[in-house]
Amino acid sequence: MLISQNAIVTMHFTVSTQDGTQIDSSREDNQPMVFMQGSQYLIKGLEDALEGKQVGDKFELTIPPELAYGERNDALVQMVPKSMFEGMDIEVGMTFRATTDEGEQSVMIIDETDDEVVVDGNHPLSGVHLNFDVEVLEVREATEDELAHGHPHVDGGCGHQH
84-124 confidence digits (pLDDT tens): 888 888 899 999 888 777 778 889 999 999 899 999 999 99
Extents of the domains making up the chain: 8-69+126-149, 74-120
Separation of alpha carbons 140 and 55, rounded Å:
10
| Residue 161 banded pLDDT, cuts 50, 70, 90 | low
| Residue 159 banded pLDDT, cuts 50, 70, 90 | low
pTM: 0.82
CATH class of 74-120: mainly beta
Query: In this structure, are residues 138 and 3 in contact, taking their beta carbons and an 8 Å threshold?
Result: no
Separation of alpha carbons 112 and 133, rounded Å:
37
CATH number of 8-69+126-149: 3.10.50.40
Q: What pLDDT is recorded for position 86? A: 86
C-alpha separations of 152 from 41, 115, 128, 129, 142 in Å: 11, 47, 29, 28, 7
| Residue 158 banded pLDDT, cuts 50, 70, 90 | low
